[in-house]
Homo-oligomer: A and B are copies of this chain.
């Protein structure tokens, strides 16, 4: 087993967080292929956003170290073996990527970033060709996350009231907690989940540890992992299809209100053309609200998508309600929901998974995307977690528990060809984009069905 304590007390120097360009979510390859094929010229900016600004990221992460980690990623290239792996993968059918795209990957160097400190936050932006910039998303997030926790753990090691024993307790409790969760899932063999926790993992090594434990405890219940490096190295199925950035960019590029409303359906059409594989045809309806997504869809498209697509991912809103809506919609279109897949993926933990299984199990196929609460649950693991945290000799206004939990960091497309990009989401608190532009989008898409929900991570 990895000696997590030693990694804190005697870290490698330099201790690179990202050591392979495969250490990204697999959907970056499927979306990247889509982008490279259909939108090779589009220029975008992705922006790192801390949705919980009371967390003082710039106090917790050393700027030089952050720059060094980001710079290191720019030295990485896909290895010959990585490209062979991507070319030879057949879990979604043979030759899923074109030679042109693999050649593009073989030459890929991640584009530059800009980094500015604004108060106790960092503004990190990535600008360049969409097909290249897109790879930064889960990489930048994993770097900021792991650097935050490294600082906290270092603070624990230096704090006389915790010290090495405190670290041991932290990891012992987190290990036990993870095991307990996995056991609860294992008790219900109908539950299948994929690890979606790469972006907000406690650390690379902890994600690896969590996956290894899941393989032992739940066995076939773990259907795969979103992290391509882990899929490659642990011989698991890489999981992922598409995300909000596709409708966000296409909608930003559309000029008229009608064109904006249509962009989300253009994504579906183009995606379906690029990927004949049923398993990759997963709708993500919530970019501008699920309700308008279904109500605005043409009957032709609804027929096609309900029959010839594998399923739907629910990433915001009440996920039981979203599932019910999908079941009802399938039934209306003469499709047996038991033949289709619903993938809830919003801030899930075991309770949520069990609740969804209770509500929807047996009525639709279910595969859970279990993320941050799988790869990064250290809440209540600190021996005195309700005391103020001390880092770099400085007492903070936040407790250890407030800081050791998963944070709501995202890295989202902010603009495309200099036009602002917006996400509305079913959850008002998950919206991103300039306020004026959000207002415009709300007029275009309406607000029906949107909720105020606490964003956990």
Q: Could you list which residues of chain A lie within 8 angstroms of chain B, going by C-beta atoms?
A: 79-81, 83-91, 94, 99, 231-233, 235, 237
A79, A84, A99, A233, most chain B CB atoms within 10 A: A84
Q: Shortest distance in angstroms between A180's beta carbon and chain B's nearest beta carbon?
A: 30
Q: Point out the residues of chain B lying under 8 angstroms from A231, CB to CB.
A: 81
- Given that A79-B235, A235-B79 are contacting pairs, would A89 and B84 also be in contact in the complex, using a CB cutoff of 8 Å? yes
Complexed CA–CA distance, A235 and B81 (Å): 6
- Given that A94-B99, A99-B94 are contacting pairs, would A84 and B88 also be in contact in the complex, using a CB cutoff of 8 Å? yes
Complexed CA–CA distance, A20 and B363 (Å): 42
Complexed CA–CA distance, A84 and B85 (Å): 5
Q: Point out the residues of chain B lying under 8 angstroms from A99, CB to CB.
A: 94
A-B contact sample (14 more), CB < 8 A, given A84-B87, A87-B87: A80-B91, A80-B237, A81-B231, A83-B88, A83-B90, A84-B86, A84-B88, A85-B85, A86-B88, A87-B89, A87-B90, A87-B94, A88-B89, A94-B99
Copies in the complex: 2
Complexed CA–CA distance, A237 and B233 (Å): 20
Q: Point out the residues of chain B lying under 8 angstroms from A83, CB to CB.
A: 88, 90
Q: Point out the residues of chain B lying under 8 angstroms from A81, CB to CB.
A: 85, 231-233, 235
A79 nearest CB neighbor, chain B only? B235
Q: Point out the residues of chain B lying under 8 angstroms from A89, CB to CB.
A: 84, 87-88
A80, A88, A99, most chain B CB atoms within 10 A: A88
Q: Point out the residues of chain B lying under 8 angstroms from A79, CB to CB.
A: 235
Q: Point out the residues of chain B lying under 8 angstroms from A232, CB to CB.
A: 81
A83 nearest CB neighbor, chain B only? B88
Complexed CA–CA distance, A224 and B84 (Å): 16
Complexed CA–CA distance, A81 and B81 (Å): 10
A85 partner, pick from B88, B91, B237, beta carbons under 8 A:
B88
Complexed CA–CA distance, A231 and B235 (Å): 18
Q: Shortest distance in angstroms between A338's beta carbon and chain B's nearest beta carbon?
A: 28
A82 nearest CB neighbor, chain B only? B235
**A-B CB contact pairs (8 Å), 15 listed:** A79-B235, A80-B91, A80-B235, A81-B231, A81-B232, A83-B88, A83-B90, A84-B90, A85-B85, A86-B88, A87-B87, A87-B88, A88-B88, A88-B89, A94-B99
